[in-house]
Chain A
Amino acid sequence: MINPLSKKPNIAFLIALIIFFAASALITILGYYFYQNQKTYINNAARQQLTAISELKVWEINNWRKERIGDANVIYKNTAFASDVMQYFNNSSSLEAKKDILSLLSATHKSYQYENILLLDKNKKVKLALKNYDNDFGKIHSNIINEAVEKNDIVFSNFYLDDKTNVVYLSIAIPINIFQKNSRIHLGTVMIIIDPEISLYPTIKLWPVPSETGESLLVCRYGNEVMYLNELRHIKNIPLIIRHPLTESSLPAVKAVLGGKGVVEGLDYRNKSVLAAIKAVPNTEWFLVAKIDTEEIYAPLTERFWVTLFFIIVNILVLGVIVAYIWRYQQAKYYRKQYEMEDKRAFLYARSLIEASLDPLVTISPEGKIMDVNESTELITGLSRKELIGSNFSNYFTEPEKANEGYKLVFEKGIVRDYLLSIRNVSGKITEVLYNASLYKNEAGEVQGIFAAARDITEIRRIEQALKATHDELDLRVKERTKELQIANEALQSEIAERKEVEKLIELRTKLLEVTNKELESFSYSVSHDLRAPLRAIDGYTRMILRDQREKLNDDAKRKFDLIRNNTQIMGKLIDDLLSFSRLGRLEINMSKLDMEGLVNDVWMELQIINPDRKIDFKIKNVPPGWGDRTLIKQVYSNLLSNAVKYTKFKDKAYMETGGYAERNENIYYIKDNGVGFDMEYYNKLFGVFQRLHTADDYEGTGVGLAIVQRIIYRHGGRVWAEGKVEEGATFYFTLPQKD
Chain B
Amino acid sequence: MDNPDIVIVEDNYNDLEMITDALHELKINRKVCILRDGVEATKHFFNSAGCLNFNISALPKLVLLDLKLPKINGLEVLKTLKMNEGTKSIPVVIFTSSNEERDRVDSYNLGANSYLVKPLDADEYFAYIRDIIKYWVGMNFTAQ
How many Å lie between the Cα of A568 and that of B17 in the bound state? 18
CB-CB under 8 A from B140, the residues of chain A are none
How many Å lie between the Cα of A534 and that of B123 in the bound state? 16
Q: Is the CB of A569 within 8 A of B68?
A: no
Q: Is the CB of A569 within 8 A of B120?
A: yes
Q: Is the CB of B122 within 8 A of A540?
A: yes
CB-CB under 8 A from A525, the residues of chain B are 100
> Which of A529, A533, A542, A572 makes the CB contact (< 8 A) with B14?
A533
Residue on A nearest B118 in the bound complex, by CB: A536
Q: What is the size category of the interface that chain A forms with chain B?
A: 20 to 34
Q: Is the CB of B18 within 8 A of A540?
A: yes
Q: Is the CB of B100 within 8 A of A536?
A: no
Q: How far is the CB of A295 from chain B (nearest CB, A)?
A: 128
Q: Is B131 an interface residue (CB 8 A)?
A: no
Q: Is A12 an interface residue (CB 8 A)?
A: no
- Which B residues between 63 and 121 are near A, CB-CB below 8 angstroms? 68, 97-100, 118-121
How many Å lie between the Cα of A569 and that of B120 in the bound state? 7
Q: Is the CB of A572 within 8 A of B21?
A: no
Q: Is the CB of A536 within 8 A of B68?
A: no
Q: Is the CB of B122 within 8 A of A565?
A: yes
Q: Is B47 an interface residue (CB 8 A)?
A: no
Residue on A nearest B17 in the bound complex, by CB: A540
Q: Is B46 an interface residue (CB 8 A)?
A: no
How many Å lie between the Cα of A568 and that of B12 in the bound state? 18
Q: Is the CB of A532 within 8 A of B120?
A: yes
Residue on B nearest A542 in the bound complex, by CB: B122
How many Å lie between the Cα of A536 and that of B13 in the bound state? 12
A539-B97 contact given A533-B12, A544-B21, CB 8 Å threshold: no
Q: How far is the CB of A565 from chain B (nearest CB, A)?
A: 7
A535-B100 contact given A540-B14, A540-B17, A540-B125, CB 8 Å threshold: no
Q: Is A537 an interface residue (CB 8 A)?
A: yes
Residue on A nearest B125 in the bound complex, by CB: A540
Q: How far is the CB of A374 from chain B (nearest CB, A)?
A: 109
A529-B21 contact given A540-B14, A569-B120, A569-B121, CB 8 Å threshold: no
How many Å lie between the Cα of A540 and that of B121 in the bound state? 8
> Which of A529, A532, A534, A543 makes the CB contact (< 8 A) with B122?
A543
Q: What is the size category of the interface that chain B forms with chain A?
A: 20 to 34
How many Å lie between the Cα of A528 and that of B120 in the bound state? 12
Among A532, A534, A540, A544: residue with most chain B CB under 10 A: A540
How many Å lie between the Cα of A529 and that of B14 in the bound state? 14
Q: Is the CB of B14 within 8 A of A539?
A: no
Q: Is the CB of B123 within 8 A of A572?
A: no
- Which B residues between 2 and 21 are near A, CB-CB below 8 angstroms? 12, 14-15, 17-18, 21
- Which A residues between 535 and 590 are near B, CB-CB below 8 angstroms? 535-537, 539-544, 547, 565, 568-569, 572, 579
CB-CB under 8 A from A565, the residues of chain B are 122
Residue on B nearest A579 in the bound complex, by CB: B99
Q: How far is the CB of A198 from chain B (nearest CB, A)?
A: 154
CB-CB under 8 A from A535, the residues of chain B are 120
How many Å lie between the Cα of A96 and that of B122 in the bound state? 208
CB-CB under 8 A from B68, the residues of chain A are 529
Among A532, A534, A535: residue with most chain B CB under 10 A: A532
Q: How far is the CB of B15 from chain A (nearest CB, A)?
A: 7
Q: How far is the CB of B135 from chain A (nearest CB, A)?
A: 22
Residue on A nearest B117 in the bound complex, by CB: A532
How many Å lie between the Cα of A569 and that of B119 in the bound state? 10
How many Å lie between the Cα of A553 and that of B8 in the bound state? 33
Q: Is the CB of A529 within 8 A of B97?
A: yes
- Which A residues between 497 and 547 are near B, CB-CB below 8 angstroms? 525, 528-529, 532-537, 539-544, 547
CB-CB under 8 A from B25, the residues of chain A are 547
Residue on A nearest B101 in the bound complex, by CB: A583
A568-B120 contact given A529-B97, A529-B98, A540-B18, CB 8 Å threshold: yes
CB-CB under 8 A from A528, the residues of chain B are 99
Q: Is the CB of B125 within 8 A of A536?
A: yes
Among B98, B119, B122, B125: residue with most chain A CB under 10 A: B122
CB-CB under 8 A from B118, the residues of chain A are 532, 536
Q: How far is the CB of B37 from chain A (nearest CB, A)?
A: 16
CB-CB under 8 A from B12, the residues of chain A are 533
A536-B97 contact given A543-B122, A543-B123, CB 8 Å threshold: yes
Residue on B nearest A543 in the bound complex, by CB: B122
Q: What 0/1 pattern do residues 234 to 257 of A give for CB contact below 8 A with B?
A: 000000000000000000000000
A532-B121 contact given A537-B18, A540-B14, CB 8 Å threshold: no
How many Å lie between the Cα of A532 and that of B98 in the bound state? 10
Q: How far is the CB of A224 from chain B (nearest CB, A)?
A: 136
How many Å lie between the Cα of A541 and that of B97 in the bound state? 17
Among A535, A543, A547: residue with most chain B CB under 10 A: A543
Q: How far is the CB of A574 from chain B (nearest CB, A)?
A: 11
How many Å lie between the Cα of A532 and that of B21 in the bound state? 19
Q: How far is the CB of B21 from chain A (nearest CB, A)?
A: 6
CB-CB under 8 A from B15, the residues of chain A are 533, 536-537
Residue on B nearest A575 in the bound complex, by CB: B120
CB-CB under 8 A from B126, the residues of chain A are 543
> Which of B14, B21, B98, B99 makes the CB contact (< 8 A) with A536?
B14
Among B68, B118, B120, B125: residue with most chain A CB under 10 A: B120
How many Å lie between the Cα of A72 and that of B100 in the bound state? 174
How many Å lie between the Cα of A568 and that of B97 in the bound state? 15
How many Å lie between the Cα of A114 and that of B80 in the bound state? 166
Residue on A nearest B120 in the bound complex, by CB: A572
How many Å lie between the Cα of A528 and that of B123 in the bound state? 21
CB-CB under 8 A from B123, the residues of chain A are 543
Q: What 0/1 pattern do residues 606 to 628 of A give for CB contact below 8 A with B?
A: 00000000000000000000000
How many Å lie between the Cα of A535 and that of B121 in the bound state? 9
How many Å lie between the Cα of A579 and that of B120 in the bound state? 15
> CB within 8 Å of B: which residues of A?
525, 528-529, 532-537, 539-544, 547, 565, 568-569, 572, 579
> CB within 8 Å of A: which residues of B?
12, 14-15, 17-18, 21, 25, 68, 97-100, 118-123, 125-126
The 3 closest A-B pairs by CB, nearest first: A537-B14, A543-B122, A572-B120
Can you give 25 A-B contacts (C-beta < 8 A)? Answer: A525-B100, A529-B68, A529-B97, A532-B97, A533-B14, A535-B120, A536-B14, A536-B18, A536-B119, A536-B125, A537-B15, A537-B17, A537-B18, A539-B121, A540-B14, A540-B122, A540-B125, A541-B17, A543-B122, A543-B123, A543-B126, A565-B122, A568-B120, A569-B120, A579-B99
